[in-house]
Each structure stands twice: as C-alpha cells, then as structure tokens.
Structure 1
Amino acid sequence: MDFTGTLISAFPIVLLIWLMTKKQAVPSHIALPITALLVGLIQLLYFQADGRLLVANSISGVLSVLTPISIIAGAILLNRVLALSGAESVIAQWLESISTNAVAQLMIIGWAFAFMLEGASGFGTPAAIAAPMLVGLGFHPLKVAILALIMNSVPVSFGAVGTPIWFGLETLNLSQEQLLDVSSQTALINSVAGLVIPILALKFVVSWQLIRNNIAFIFLSILSCTLPYYWIASWNYEFPSLIGGAIGLVVSIFLAKRHIGLKAHENDLPRGKKVEFHKLALAASPLVLLIVILIVTRIGQLGIKDLLTDTSHWLGIDLGGTYFSISPSLVLSVEHILQTSVSWSYKTLYVPALIPFLLVVLIAIPVLNMSRAKAFEAFVDTGRRIKLPLVSLVGALIMVNFMMLGGDNSPIFLIAQTFSSLTGDSWSYFAAFLGALGSFFSGSSTVSNLTFGGIQQSIAEQVGLPITLVLALQSVGAAMGNMVCINNIIAVATILGIENKEGHIIKQTILPMVIYGVVAALVGAALIVM
C-alpha cells in the first residue's frame, strides 16, 4: 500500500476544500484552476505522467465543460424568460393558493417535483427548475440552494431514467438478477435515509418549530415518493424516481389542498389569491412542455432517445492524428486527441440544453407575449451569469481528468485502495463514502459508478462481502455525493445569482451528507446480518 502516493494524491483535494471553506474563502473560479494545475504538476513530477497525455486530458476537460455550462445556460435562460414575462409570479401565486404553508411549498417543489424531474432527466435539471421557483415564492436564494442540493439526493441513484444503474454498472458483467438486486437494495437504503434527509434540508430554510408542527405532512410527502420508488425498484431500475416522484407530487398537492398534516398557521406565508385557470395554464405551459419533452426523449422504448443519441458516422475530418466527427444526430466527437487514447463527445440534441431548454424558450417568448427588449434582456443576463462559472467548471473538469489519469496508479485509485486496505471486512461501513467521493470529483453519479464500480466489486470479493450490497452502497454514495459536488454547487448558485458562496454551501451540506452515509452504513450492516 503506497501511503506516500496516497498522501500526495489527497493533498490537492484537502487544499481545495480548505481554500473554498476557510474564513476568507477563495472563489471557485480561482481555487479550482489552481488545484487543477497542482494535480497536473503532481502527475508530471511524482507519477511521471506523459506530458502529451496531460495536455490531451486538459483539452478534453476544456471541451467537456460544454455539457454542464450549456445546461446551466439553458436553465438560466428559461428562468429569466419566466421571470421577465411575469409567468413566474403567476405560478408562485397559484402555489400559494394550494397552500400558504412554507413547509408544504418546500416539500411540493423542492422534494416531490424535483424527485420527478431527476427521474426524467438528471443533469442537474431538478435544481435548475425547482430552485428558482422557490426563490420566486420569496425564499432566500442561498438557503434554497442548500435545500435543493440536499433534497436532490435520494432520487439520483435512478436519475435520467436509471442511467447510473444500467449504464454506470454496465462494465461489471452483472446478470439481470444481480442488477435488480442492486436496484432494490439501493432503493431500500435511500428510502430509509429519505426519512431523515428532507427534514435536515428543511432546517436550513424554516425553524424546527415549523417542522415539528407539520411533521405529519412531511412524512406523508416523503413516503408518497419513496414507497412507490422502492416498490418499482424491485422489478425495474429505469423508472423508480420518475414514477415515484410523479405519484408523490400528486399526493403531496392533494394533502396540502386539504391541509392534511399541516397544523401551523402563525408561520404561514401571506395568503395567496386564486389564479384563473387560463392564466395558470399559459404561465405554466413552458414548464409543462419542458417536462413532457424530457420524459418523451428519455424513455428509450419510444424510440426518440435512439434518434437523438445515434453515434454512427456521418461526417469526419482527420486533424493530424486527432479525428473529429459528427453523427446524424449531431453527436460531436473528438477521438485520439493529440494521438492519445483520450476522447470527447457531446450529444448536441440529447444534452438538455438545446432540447428542451432553448426549444422551450423559443416557443415561450411568443406564447408569453414577451417584447423583443425583454427577450434580449433574458439572453444578455444569461451570458453575464455564466462567465465565472465557465472558468470554475473548466478547472474542475481538468482536475477530475488529472485525478483519474493512470489507471491502477491514478491518484483517485490510490486513495480508494488505501481506504479499503485500512477497513478490511468493515468496508460496508465506508463503501458509500467512496461513491460520494466519486460524485464530488466528477459531478455525476453515473461517472462515480463507472469509476468505482469495479473497485467496489473487487473489494467485496476480496473481503467476502455481498457484491450486490456493496454496489448498492456505491450507488447510494454516488447519490448522496450530489450534495457536495462542486459542479452541482456552481450550477445551482449560478442559476440563483449567488456569487462566491460555494465554500459556504459545501460547509453546510457536508454534515447532511455524512449523516446520509451513516444511515447507509447502518442499513447496509443490517442487510448483511439478514
């Protein structure tokens, strides 16, 4: 076990966390590029990495920023269109008419609605849509950002129609029965954690007294999502979050309208006025269209997903050993960057930037009767907001590429190997935290599963733990890591117009993540005994 290599590998991460969370925090657009440069130097000087490979990974990191930044830009643009057109205020007024109770609104939008969106799309879409709606209702942007990150964890294991499971674990050669076993155990662990996590999230926005007064509604709203979520996961790993969230949203609205489980009155928000149906339908039409397009384009059985993700060759050009190509569905690919094994691709029509965000915006502008000046203002404001996050994300993605460079001798692999060597057959208590580490680095539960799934499987075999349970804990950890993922934090902060608070957000979300991990460890231990 290479302790020296592990310490050197972990140093940049420790430095990054310190820079972003110290009293006078360093903004992410400075801290992340510095960390990426440091990891690059470590790779070059300590790990003796090939210089060309480092440059190729840098290029890949810069190109890869197109995915998150285009999604962020699309989400901000839609939000600005809804706000400047007045549609956002109409939707907020309708939500107040359902219930003026702050807890009810937070659970309906921040929990159930976001749960469903995660199941349909992933890619940070839930926070991008739900968080601005909550801010529009009058909640504090920074508190909403923290709540959105914490709430959007339980459904992530089955986000984007189950992609983290069926794609994230595809390289492990698991049987269908084993995959369903991983799916079921993942949902069970997440569901148990789900009894605690939303309450911790609410505490950042409202008082304990208000939470206690409305605890019955909170638990009913939680269970309305997690019970169908767990039931579906036992026989399907694509739709638990999507269907669970949809059922939970309907049930939560029903409960709120009838004041079931809602007992607080003195802390309610101002009484909302009823909104005429045609005004609500017009204002909500962009969001309804957005959700419909997300669902239709993400369900493989409908055939549209295959059309949008077709990677077959259409056009290509050889750039001196580096090959650039475009597929019929406009998937952009760069292979053998600088004549190395490094590659990059961007699914232009599948990444939810052009479809549905920009498409919905272009439809919404005339539907909502926006003036040319207002529409122009929305685009300009979007461009202004994404400048610094663009720098932050470039730094983050280059750092991730450098951390993963080297295979079994990569910094990230050394950190994971040291953890497993120190814990032995007690690994089940720590497996989820390795999954969270993967999400922290990569910004994706799918990438975390792809990166660490093989390591988790190998550790389980070596120490004699059930493989499917350890993989379930990996999947749970990848989901809970969403709370502290730098990419997600930058995204939601940018969408809400919050500047230089990334370190503060990490400090606030890390404790709920640790609690989540402890719950996962205890449930995992119980499942081993059973």
Structure 2
Amino acid sequence: MGIFISGLPIVLLIWAMTKRHAVPSHVALPATALMVVLIQWLFFQADVVLLAATVLAGLLSVLTPISIVAGAILLNRVLHFSGAEAVLSQWLKSISANKVAQLMIIGWAFAFMIEGASGFGTPAAIAAPILVGLGFPAIPVAIFTLAMNSVPVSFGAVGTPIWFGLSGLSLSDVQLMDIAMQTALLNSAAALVIPFIALRFLLGWSEIRRNAGFILLSVLSCVVPYVFFAQWNYEFPALIGGAIGLALSVWLAKSGIGLSLAIEREPDDTKLAARKIVKVFVPFALLIAILIVTRVPQWGIKDLLNAMSPLWAWQFGATKFEISQALVLSFNNIFGTEVSWQYKSLYVPALIPFLLVVLVCIPLFGMSRALVLTSVRDTGQRLFLPTLSLMGALVMVNVMMQGGSQAPMLLLAQAFARLLGDSWGYTAALLGALGSFFSGSATVSNLTFGGIQLGIAEEVGLPITLVLALQSAGAAMGNMICINNIIAVSTILGVNNKEGFIIKRTIIPMLAYALVAALFSMIRLY
C-alpha cells in the first residue's frame, strides 16, 4: 500500500499533463505537491513541523532556478528589442547558400552555445524564427529545433541540471565530475545520430548524404570540446563546446568543406559592417569570459563569491537567517529542524553574469529607457507561470524525499529495483525523459527523479554515477517531447494546435536517443 500511495501522485501528474485536454504544468505541479504533502501528513504520519520546514525550503529553493531563468530571458529580450538579434540573424543568413550548412550552423552549433549559456527552451525559441526567415517551413522547423536541442541540455544554463538538479543527493564533487564525464560521452554518442534524423524532417536523404561530411564535422566541432571540458568541469561543456563549434562550423561553411558543390539559392547579398557583427557578439563573448573567470577555482574569484564569513545574522525562534560577506543568503535549522536553505547571490549565474551583461548591452546598443522597460516587462510576464511550476516541482520533490527508510522516493526506488533488477540500466534514461516531458525542464527532471535513480542503483548494485548519468542524459533527450518547449516554439512561429502532431514526430529521435543510452549502459557495465 505504501508503494501504491507513493506512486499515485506521480501517476496522476503524468495522466493530467498528457491527457487529451492536458492540465498545464503551473496547475498540475502545485496540485501534485499539495497531494504529496497530504499523503505524508495523513498516511505516513510525518512530523508536522518537519513537513512545514521541508515545504518552506522547497519554496525558497525556487529562487535559484527562477533567477537564472529571469537573467537569461532578460538578456534575450534586450538583444531582441535593441535590434542586435536582427543583425545576428542577417549575418547568419549570409554565411552560406547551402541548406545543410544553414541548418547546422543555426539549429545545431548556435543553439548549442545558447543552451550552454541560458537553457530553459531559449535555443529553439531563438533558432526557429531565424530558420523560418531563411524560407524553411514552420512546423518542420519546430520539430527540427526541438530534436537538435537535446545533446547540450545536460549542461544547459551553465550546468544547472547537474550542479543544481542533483544537489539534493549528497554527492561528492568527485561523483559529480564522474556523472558529468559519462553524461557527456553518452550525449556525444547520440550526437552522431540525432542531427541526421533531425535534418530528415526538412531535407531529403540524398541531400543529407551529399553533405554528410559537413554534418559530421560540425557535430564533432561541438562535441569534442564538450567532452574535453566535461572531464574537469560541469558548468562549461555546452557553453564552450558551442562557442568553439559555432566558430568552426562557420569557417567550414565559408570554406565549403564537406558541402555539396550544388548551390540551390543565392545567399543574402546585404553586406554587414564588421563593426556591427563584432558588437552583436560582444554580449556572448563577455558572458563566456565572466563565467570562466568566476568558475575556475585556481583564480580565487570563485572562493570570494562563495565566502561564508557572516556579515549579518538574525535569530527568530529556533530559525537562524544569515547573510555572508559574499551575500550568500541562508536559513539554518528552519523551525528547529535540521532543514536548511541557501542562495549564493553572486555565484548563481543571475546577477553575474546575466544582469551584468545586460547592463553593458544597454549603452552598447544605445537602448532608450522605453526599450529597457519593455524588455523588463516582457521578462516579468514570462516568469509568473514557470515560477508556479517550479514551486510545485521543488516542494513535491523535497517532501517525497522526507521520511528516512519510509520516504516515498525510497519506496518507489525499491519497487522499481525489484521489478527490473540489474536490467534497470537499459531503461534508466527513459525515466529522465519522462521527467522532462511533464515538468518542462531537465533540471526539474533531475530534481524529481534523481533520488529514485540513486535509490534504485543502491538497491540493485549498479554504479551510482552511471545511473545518474543515464538520468541526466535522459532528461536531455526528453527535451524533444517537452510540452512546454513545444508550446513555446509553436507560439513563436504562429503554429496553432499542432502539439500532438509535433510530439508524434519528435518521439522518433527521442527513442533513437534512448537506444543509444541503452547501448552505452551495456558497454559501461559489461
């Protein structure tokens, strides 16, 4: 009965979000969180004070992902309203007349870099309108960009799915690095397959075969540095890999390397001044530079941004609130329990680098006060519903992990372990994909199912880091069928009521990805 009750909220959540008239995530997730709280209180007889502290910590935890989302969206809106996005689009159009080159540069390499910087569905939302502007049909473009926005997702938004999504599992830094390395290897193996399948939604096989050399080189130009950086860091692989891949893909296209000689249409004859192009890339270069400077431990800035020396403290009851010299906010012993919460204001990539880069962009692009206010308002309007979804997801996850040996997460893990045994490695990625499907985020998928995956690995004796790497890669491949991303891209392209049609197409590359994950698991185990 305990297993049934533990799994009931998740089953109902999946049903609510996938039925014909689906319940939106900002309703379904908070409702599920409330159900989980009631189950813990009434069925598992959880301590009310501990339950209240866990709920509060879950609500406060929303500040980390939502502040990153806010910074990323604000930068995107500033680039849009300043006209920089239009210049970028014009430059990308002029690089090559070859359709494959255009699709790989914009839909693969450029989106790869944007995913590394911001994530949260931004790459497909930026790449899709550019491709439609080049003359590609809207619905196939939506499918193509969704399929392509998968490989870099595990390290999207400066590695948020790894360092935040798995933060509640008490993993050592060595374990996190091993998870990052294996995730990068798995995703890179899938990258040798997914772009070819994705291109098929827009082009014929004959055209793809004629340009296969360029496709492969463009893929490798991103994933080789991606894998290299994942050996020692879990924040930069997608960002740096995408930046290097974009530069190399542009060079390959301009040189005609690996491309068919047949030119099917003329490139845009409009010449852009080099100064304009350089100016457009300043924000991206600055973003990457600041992230590197603040993340490399040897330079000392990382330690300064994480300094915990107390600056101010306030005690109310048993709960202690502190602000450190590096503006780290923390609640300790919430309501007298062992539950705590922490937010690193200067280290979480919201103020630094996103807001900092935005402040540079305003004078750089000569934005008026009205345009800046428009960018801020547009950002605010986009944040309300995602905030509700994340609040529901984080409260649900926190509460399901409460209860020691009778925690709902642990009970579900034990049930899955008994059902599949050591064969779990072949299907672990599908659970991660399911999490992204109904939550709309690889980070939330890792938050939701990371504990279950960890419990299963311990129960059946599978390597913990391998199973969590499968979870992380599965969450990335689930981005293809994520309802939120599909709705966002469709809305931007003016496509209505085609979500079901798109999911039926994107599930094809997702299943191919799952097959690669199963083979990867088999190789690593045997």
TM-score when normalising by structure 1: 0.82
For residues 372-411 of structure 1, the aligned pairs below 5 Å read 372-411=369-408
Q: Is the 8 A contact 1:150 1:201 kept in 2?
A: yes
2:132 counterpart residue number: 138
Q: CA RMSD in A?
A: 3.9
Q: Which runs of 5+ in 1 are unaligned?
A: none
Any unmatched runs of 5+ in structure 2?
A: none
Counterpart among 62, 71, 76 of residue 74 in structure 1: 71
Higher mean C-alpha displacement, 236-245 vs 408-417: 236-245
Deviation at 1:501, TM superposition (A): 8.9
CA contact (8 A) 1:439 1:448 kept: no
1:432 is aligned to 429
Q: Whole-Å Cα distance in 2 between the matches of residues 197 and 254 of structure 1?
A: 23
Give the C-alpha shift of residue 191 in structure 1: 2.3
Of stretches 444-453 and 387-396 in structure 1, the one that deviates more from structure 2 is 444-453
Q: Does 1:286 align with 2:289?
A: no
**Where in structure 2 are the equivalents of 1:298-377 lying within 5 Å?**
298-377=295-374
Counterpart of 1:455?
A: 455
Q: Rate the CA distance shift 1:111–1:23 in 2: closer, same or farther, 3 A.
A: same
Farther-moved stretch of structure 1 (180-189 vs 83-92) = 180-189
Per-residue deviation at 1:165?
A: 7.3
Q: Name the counterpart of 1:54.
A: 51
Q: Structure 1 residues 497 and 345 mapped into 2: Cα distance closer, same or farther (>3 Å)?
A: farther
What is the CA-CA distance between 1:96 and the residue it aligns to?
A: 0.9
CA change 1:30–1:150 in 2 (3 A) is same
Aligned equivalents of 2:268, 2:39: Cα separation in 1: 58
CA contact (8 A) 1:221 1:252 kept: yes
Q: Which moved more, 1:154-163 or 1:427-436?
A: 154-163
Question: Cα gap change, 1:333/1:105 in structure 2, threshold over 3 Å: closer, same or farther?
Answer: farther
Range with bigger deviation, 401-410 or 80-89 = 401-410
1:447-467 deviations in Å (ceiling 9; x for gaps): 579735753552453xxx5x3
The one-letter code sitting in structure 1 at the alignment partner of 2:283 is P
Report the CA distance between 1:309 and its aligned residue.
Answer: 1.9
AA partner of residue 382 (structure 2): R
Structure 2 Cα separation of the partners of residues 309 and 172 of structure 1: 19
Measured in 1, the distance between the counterparts of 2:197 and 2:458 equals 34
1:18 has 2:15 as partner: yes
Distance 2:141 2:50 in 1: 41
**What SS does the corresponding residue of 1:311 show, helix, strand or coil?**
coil
* 1:128 pairs with 2:122: yes
Contact 2:162 2:472 in 1 (8 A): no
2: CA distance, partners of 1:319 / 1:437: 41
Residue matched to 1:482: 476
Helix, strand or coil for the counterpart of 1:138? helix
Q: Aligned pair in 2 of structure 1 residues 136, 171: CA closer, same or farther (>3 Å)?
A: same
Deviation at 1:91, TM superposition (A): 0.8
Deviation of 1:181 after TM superposition, in Å, equals 6.8
TM-score normalised over the length of structure 2? 0.82
Q: Give the Cα separation in 2 of the matches to 1:398 and 1:61.
A: 4
Q: For 1:293 and 1:250, how far apart are their aligned partners in 2?
A: 19
Q: Is 2:411 aligned against 1:417?
A: no
Q: Secondary structure at the match of 1:318?
A: strand
SS at match of 2:49: helix
Q: Report whether the alignment pairs 1:35 with 2:12.
A: no
Q: 1:483 to 1:189 in 2, by over 3 A?
A: closer
Q: Alpha carbons of 1:5 and 1:183: their partners in 2 closer, same or farther (altered >3 Å)?
A: same
**Conserved 8 A contact 1:489-1:502:** no
Describe the superposition over 1:306-329 as per-residue Cα deviations: whole angstroms up to 9, x where unpaired. 222223322110121111111111
Deviations along 1:338-365, one digit per CA (max 9) or x if unpaired, are 2222222211112222112211112211
Q: Residue 451 of structure 2 aligns to which amino acid in structure 1?
A: T
**Following the alignment from structure 2 to structure 1, what is the Cα–Cα distance between the partners of residues 67 and 171?**
31
* Contact persistence 1:389–1:494 (CA under 8 A): no
Does the 8 Å contact 1:216/1:262 carry over to 2?
yes
> d(CA) in 1 for partners of 2:317 and 2:498?
41
1:94-105 residue pairs with structure 2 within 5 A?
Answer: 94-105=91-102
More displaced stretch, 17-26 vs 426-435? 426-435
- Do residues 92 (structure 1) and 89 (structure 2) align? yes
Deviation at 1:133, TM superposition (A): 4.8
Which stretch of structure 1 is more off in the superposition, 348-357 or 514-523? Answer: 514-523
Give a deviation string over 1:42-90, Cα, whole Å, max 9, x none.
Answer: 2222222222223222222222222222222222222221111111111
Following the alignment from structure 1 to structure 2, what is the Cα–Cα distance between the partners of residues 383 and 502? 27
Query: What amino acid maps onto 1:15 in structure 2?
Result: L
Alpha-carbon shift at residue 520 of structure 1 (Å):
1.5
Query: 2:94 is paired with a residue of what secondary structure?
Result: helix
C-alpha displacement at 1:376, in angstroms?
1.5
Q: Distance in 1 between matches of 2:509 and 2:98?
A: 24
Amino acid at match of 1:360: V
CA distance 1:274–1:18, shift in 2 (3 Å): farther
* Alpha-carbon distance in 2 for matches of 1:379, 1:485: 27
**Residue 255 of structure 1 is aligned with which of 252, 256, 271?**
252
Structure-1 separation of matches of 2:489 and 2:196: 24
- Letter paired with 1:479: A
Alpha-carbon distance in 1 for matches of 2:290, 2:490: 24
Q: Greater CA deviation, 267-276 or 513-522? A: 267-276
How many residues are aligned here?
Answer: 514
Deviation track 1:98-117 (CA, whole Å, cap 9, x = no partner) reads 12445434433443344456
Match 1:190 to one of 178, 187, 194? 187
Secondary structure at the residue paired with 2:75? Answer: helix
Is the 2:154–2:475 contact (alpha carbons within 8 Å) kept by the matching residues of 1?
no
Cα distance in structure 2, aligned partners of 1:50 and 1:507 = 44
Deviation at 1:431, TM superposition (A): 3.6
1:111 pairs with one of 104, 108, 125: 108
1:332 counterpart letter in structure 2: L
Other structure's SS at 1:98 match: coil
Using the aligned pairs only, state the percent identity: 54
Supply the distance in 2 between the matched residues of 1:10 and 1:460 (Cα, whole angstroms): 20
Worse-matched range after superposition: 302-311 or 359-368? 302-311
**1:202-281 matched pairs, under 5 angstroms:** 202=199, 206-209=202-205, 211=208, 214-230=211-227, 241=238, 243-263=240-260, 271=268, 273-281=270-278
Q: Deviations over 1:274-295 (max 9, x none)?
A: 3110111223322222222222
SS at match of 2:349: coil
Deviation at residue 6 of structure 1 after TM alignment = 2.6
Q: 1:439 to 1:29 in 2, by over 3 A?
A: closer
